Each structure stands twice: as C-alpha cells, then as structure tokens.
Chains A and B, each alone.
Chain A
Amino acid sequence: MRQLISLAALSAATALPASAQDYNLFVSNEYGASVGVIDAEGREVTTLPISGRPGEVRPRGIAISPDGRTAYIAVSDFNPASERPEDSIVAVDVATGSELRRIRAGGNPERLAISPDGRVIWASLEAIAQAAAYDAETGAELGRFPTGVEPEGVAASPDGAWAYITGETSHSVTIIDAREMKLVTHLLVGNRPRDVIFSPDSARAYVSAEIGGTISVIDTGDRAVVQTIDLGLDSRPVEMVLSPPGDRLYVAGGGTSTVYVIDTASGEIIAEIAEQMGRRPWGITASPDGSRTFTANGMSDSITVIDADCLCVTGQIPAGRGAHSVEMGVVDVQG
C-alpha cells in the first residue's frame, strides 16, 4: 500500500484533520484507464479498473453525488472523433469501490456535474459540441443541448436552477435552465474556457480561460460577465475549486505547475503556489472543512496537498498514470 510521501517533517502536519477522515479521494488516471481511491491519510485504498485498455480508454472528469456516496466518472477514448462503446458515465459506490452501473454517453464525455438533489448528471460531450442531462438512476437521457465547439467544463448551480457548460474552441459558456431543461443563452468569455464552477449561493459563476489567462466572473441573475480576473497571459488556468464559504478561489495552472489563490471579494491574487507543486496540476478539489486543497498532477502522476493556512505544499501522494481529476467522497458516514 502506497503511503503519503512527506516533503518535510510530515506526520501530523500533513495528515488530514479528523473532520476530513471520513472522506476518500477519487483520482481519475487518464493514461492508466483506472480510478485510484486514496484515503484521508494518503494511503491507497484500491484502484478501480475502468478498462483493460490503458492508452485507449481514458477516464477524466469525476463528480460526486451530493450525499457523497456515489462517484461518477466520465469515460471516453483518445480519439475524440470516434464513437466507442466505452463512451459512458461509470457510477461507483464510494464505500465499496464497486461499479454500480454504466450510463451510455456517446460523443466523448469529458466532464460531469451532479444536480444538488443528486438526480441529474450533466455531461459535456466533447466530440459533438453538445451537453446532455441523464437520470442518475436509470441513465435515461433527459435533455440534449448545443454548446460551443469542444465543450468541457460543466457545473450545476447549488440552487438547482442552472447548468453551465464551457466551449473551448468557441470561447463560450452555454446556460441551461436546469429545471425546465431549456437552453437559455450563450456567453462569450476568455480564450479556451476549461472549467466553470458556481459560488455557494449560486449568485456567481467562475470560468477559467486557459489561453486567455483569465477568470470570467458571471452574475448568474443578469447572465453577464461582470468581472474578468487577469492571471497573466501565461498562467494557463484550468480546474478551479472554491473554499467552502466561497471566499477563496483555488485555480490550477496546468501549464505552469502553479496554483493561484484568489480572494473572491476583491478579485486579487493572494498567493501563487509553485514551490514543490506536482507537474501539470489539472484537477483540484478541497476538503469539506477547507483546510486542504488537492491537485491531480498529470505529468508527475501524483496528488499535491496544499495547506490552506500557509498556502504552501505540505505533501505529495502517488497517483496512477496521468492523474486528471480529483474529488472527495464520503466513506464512513453511510447509514
């Protein structure tokens, strides 16, 4: 069993706080065709094989159900234009690590989001410029919507009202009325928008633009970009996560191996964490208490642990080949 690798005097300083120890990390290994499950101490719990064909089948986006008990993984292949049987959403029981079901999602599903009631899975279908909504239990398709070319980022608002999907090549965000299953509009944002997330109160959405080097802040009521946070042309922002109260935005800079920390009230960058970061941090998530942030590092096959107090790297956890996304799921609190 692999252990958390210390960077300095590890021990208690690196282990997750007790409040977070009911959680496992789920890491999609894009080139390993597997999902790693790692416990709060950094120990490998298990590795779930997604396919016996690593290098051909690629798990990428992960979403965790609101109760924390089910992990959904977007599975596709390395030829975005081909339609393969593997194009699907795989549901995994967080407690046992066993596969629950596969939902057919043709068109190269890349990222996922779950509605706050846990009933609807939203997926970006990268190869066909569409977003789709599926019933989480039955897999039935509930809606399908045009997006920009190469859709990627997906988010469902905490209030259940909206689903947002980014379009990388079109520099767009598609807004869908999630209750009515109705396309509302599209917005232009920065170049190559990768990820989108909502604030806890659903009033704001944040969109990272990898080539533009910006974060677009969208007022969800007005459906308009109200602020553009400039991280620098070469910052390469990809996935983002908010601290639980929403006061800090952590942004993974994939191409720069840096995590940018933004004060959401001011829009100012308060830290750039580069020292001892893993290579090519792509996925990013935060512990429920906000004390730790984790990045999935595709080039170093690792998870980097960032402490929220010092805003510094405190640990590295080995992951599988090509770590892409990382999310947290509940393990011990199930009744």
Chain B
Amino acid sequence: MSLSRRLLLGAAMAGLAAPALAQTAPRLRVGAVLPLGGPDLPLAPANLGRPARAALDGLTLSAEDAAQNAGLFGGGVDLLVANAPTAEAARRAAARLIAHDRVSVLVGGFTAEDALALSETAAATGTLFLNIAAPQDALRRICDPLTFHVEASAAMYLDALAGWFVRAGHRRWMVVHSDDADGQALMARLDSRLGGAHWGARLAGAVAVDPAARDLRAAAREMARTDADMVLLLTDWMTQLDLLAAAESVGTPLPVTGFPWAAAQTRWFYGASRQAAPEAGRSYRATLWEPTLDSYGARELNARFAARWGRPMDAPAWAGYQAVKIATEANLRTSSLSGRDLAAWLSDPATVFDLHKGIGASFRPWDRQLRQSLYLVQIAAAAEGGSELERLEARAALTGELPAIYMPGTDPVQRLDQIGDMARDMPRCG
C-alpha cells in the first residue's frame, strides 16, 4: 500500500465573504481506498483502475461541494486517498488511514475481497464503511452495523434485468457464467429467482466458462444453438467482451447483456463492447447512473462533473460522489465524528437521501443497502469513436428506469424494494 495521493480540500470561497457562523459540525476526514494502479493490480477479472479513477473524480467533486457547504454550516471534509491494488493492500491502507490520519469514514470496495477487508477493518475500529463498487450479495449478509452499501446489490441488478427483459418479451434465458465464486453466486441467485417464477422467466440453458480462458468459441457456439430469447453473461467485464466478440463471430442473433460490474458501467466499456461486437455489442445494459440523465437535479450534477473533469459522470463516479455526500450529511446532522454515530443516523428510518434520482432514498435496515432505482441504457451504434465529451456521452442512450419512480399512489419505499433481497432473505443478526 502506498498513500500515493492526498487531497485536502478547504472551505475557501474566493471573493465571497462568509458569515460568522457557529461551527456546529467538526471537520470530517474520509479515507478512500481505491485500486488505482500498480504492478499488483490484476488484469482480470478486476482491472479496476479505470472505474477507481472515475470514483476518485466523483469523490473529489463531492468533497469540493462539501467545502462549499462548510462555508455555510462549518464542518467540511478532508479527503485522503490511498492506492490499494489488492485486498491485503486495502486492509493495510485502511488501518493506516484510521490509525494515523484519524479518518471517520472509509470509502471503497471494488472486489468482494476489498470490501470485506475494509468492512472488517471498519468493524474493528468503530469506523463507518461505505461500499461504492462491490455488488456481491454475500457482502450484504455481513452483520456489521458500520458497513453500508451505496453500490447496488447483485440481487438488485439481476431483478432489474429480469424486469426489463421479461417486459420486452424475453422469457427464456441462456446464461453464461464464470466458474468462480462470483459467477457461481450470481448464477445461484438468478436460478433461485427465476425458478421461483418471480419474474416470469426461466432458464433455457447455462454454460460455465473458466474465467482465465480466452478462447470462448465453445461457449459462443452454445449461444448460437440455444432456443433462448436472450443471453445473459455473468462473467467479469473482460470475459464479457471476449464472449461478445465470439458471439459476433458465430452470428448469435439474440440480444446479449452482461452483469454490470463497475468496470462495465463506463463509457469506455460501452465503446469497447461496440468495438468487440458491432452488432451483439449494441446491447441493453443495466447501470447505477447515467450521465445523460436529465431530471431532478441530475442534469446539474452531470454538467458540473463534466465541466470539472471533461468526462461524463460514469456510475463509479456517481457512487463516489454520493458516498462523500452521504457521509458529510451524516456529519452535519449529527455533529459527530464517531463512526457509530454516523452509522446510527444512516440507519434511522427517518433519514432520507437525495441521490439526484428524483426520489427520497434510504438504507434498508436489514442489510444497509441503499434503496434506489437503476437505469437501462442501450449502447449506441456509433459507440466506438472519439474521446470528446459529446461523443463519449453518445456511446449509450438512456432507455429505462426500474423501479419507475413515478407511480402515484404507491409508497416510495415499497416501490424501491421491488428489486433486491428482502429481510426474509437475510440472516438474523444477533
């Protein structure tokens, strides 16, 4: 681990006089542990440097917003960033940030192992941990009252995909999953959900692939032979691209989508998908956030991000932004630096967050998962070219939202809980 970069953002607002305010909130220190790069960063399945850098952009913008708010209410945020390309590096970085830099909040989690390391470190030290990029359902079963998940759970993504594709008439699913822990867990969850006829779809076939294998033609031939309506790839992002290319080569006529890992929710991935498979790569994808989202303050947030960084606000950037926003609001409302105090406020059923998604959101009490709507985008035909902002944005188009937030007469909490695991699916924590 190296504490490679440190950002200390002040509350200066040049040229504008601040009023004499009672400093009600103490200054919060947030430690971000991100796999930004280095020789230990694995190529696959993680290779998380790109989404981690996007997350850092979001974290930084949010810390700058917090500096603006500090001019109003006191407090403010020091954002400290550590590069940690492995789970063990993440554990060491987190311990150092807590012991030496006195952070009250840890942000990170790009693999299940990363997130677990940060969660355990947080639990041992009374620190709040906000997971921004690890969707694994197993992490939601950790009985740790200090771990909260801004990233959507795998169950939420799978339910959202089921909702969309079944509605579009795709009821017979073929699944290609990686033969590793992540792939098996996703497959098991999907199988149980579809087997229970919850969404009205069924499995028409399943193929396991070695995540280390790069020759995926056998799986592609299975995809070409199936009588399914669609294909779902429950593999890492890199294998998804290889499978798309292989599917294209054998002429798979079916729509193909993949599990939306953080690395697969970026404009870069959409361009790579289109390049790998000009037809099959123009699929519909689920995402946590969409930089062309326009309503309920999303336009303003997306525009401020794009103006700050010259890039669209990809989903990992949004998750980083919201993590700092949530932490600073907890600090502001509690006037506390205690991880337990902050966590108690996050857990309060009366606490509501504005995620720029147009609906009041909250953490589910049974697994501390942030309730929220997800989006469906379609990768554009012209997704491969150009790095200018407009061309990057044009790589995908927003096509849907689930759950739909505009359903008058329904309870918003129940509406958001249409996707993901419920309390009855979770272990009882003593």
Residues of A within 8 A of B (CB): 78-82, 126-127, 129-130, 144-150, 167-172, 174, 183-186, 188, 191-192, 210-213, 233-234, 255-258, 274
Contact = CB atoms under 8 A, between A and B. Distances in A.
B297 interface: yes
14 contacts: A127-B300, A146-B13, A147-B72, A148-B72, A167-B72, A169-B65, A169-B300, A169-B301, A171-B329, A171-B354, A172-B69, A188-B332, A191-B353, A234-B411
Contacts of A81: 303-304, 306-307
B430 interface: no
A80 B304 CA distance: 7
B69 A150 contact: no
Interface stretch (B17-25, B113-121, B203-211, B220-228): B17-25
Given A82-B307, A255-B358, A255-B406, A126 B300 contact: yes
Contacts of B71: 146
A13 to B, nearest CB: 27
B16 A130 contact: yes
B19 A183 contact: yes
B296 A234 contact: no
Nearest to B16: A146
Interface string B317-331: 000000001000100
Contacts of B200: none
A257 B21 contact: no
B21 A186 contact: yes
A146 B18 CA distance: 7
B378 interface: no
B69 A233 contact: no
B246 to A, nearest CB: 41
Contact of A150 (B300, B307, B412): B300
B297 A186 contact: no
A233 B412 contact: yes
Contacts of B303: 79-82, 127
Given A80-B299, A188-B332, A255-B406, A146 B68 contact: yes
Contacts of B360: 191, 211-213, 233-234
A172 B72 contact: yes
Contacts of B39: none
Contacts of A185: 19, 21
Q: For B68, B72, B303, B332, which residue has the most chain A Cβ atoms within 10 angstroms? A: B72
A235 to B, nearest CB: 10
B374 to A, nearest CB: 18
A172 B66 CA distance: 13
Nearest to B22: A185
Contact count band on B: 35 or more
Given A146-B68, A192-B297, A212-B360, A186 B412 contact: no
B36 interface: no
Contacts of B423: none
Contacts of B412: 233-234
Contact of B352 (A130, A168, A212, A256): A212
Contacts of A210: 296
A148 B69 contact: yes
B398 to A, nearest CB: 16
Interface string B360-383: 100000000000000000000000
Nearest to B18: A146
B16 A144 contact: yes
Contact of B297 (A144, A168, A257, A258): A168
Nearest to A175: B19
Nearest to B71: A146
Contacts of B169: none
Nearest to A191: B354
B41 interface: no
A82 B306 CA distance: 10
A78 B292 CA distance: 12
Closest 9 CB pairs of A and B: A81-B307, A186-B72, A211-B354, A81-B303, A191-B354, A234-B412, A146-B16, A80-B303, A183-B19
B73 interface: yes
A127 B306 CA distance: 13
Contact of A183 (B17, B68, B413): B17
A186 B304 contact: no
A148 B297 CA distance: 14
A270 to B, nearest CB: 19
B359 interface: yes
B69 A149 contact: yes
Contacts of A129: 68
A127 B301 CA distance: 10
A174 B359 CA distance: 24
Interface in B179-238: none
Contact of B65 (A126, A149, A274): A149
A211 B303 CA distance: 20
Given A146-B16, A146-B68, A211-B359, 12 more contacts: A79-B303, A80-B300, A129-B68, A147-B72, A168-B300, A169-B297, A191-B353, A192-B354, A211-B352, A211-B358, A234-B411, A255-B405
B13 to A, nearest CB: 5
Contacts of A167: 72
A147 B18 CA distance: 10
Contacts of B306: 81
Given A146-B72, A149-B69, A234 B359 contact: yes
A213 B69 CA distance: 22
A211 B411 CA distance: 14
Nearest to A211: B354
A23 to B, nearest CB: 32
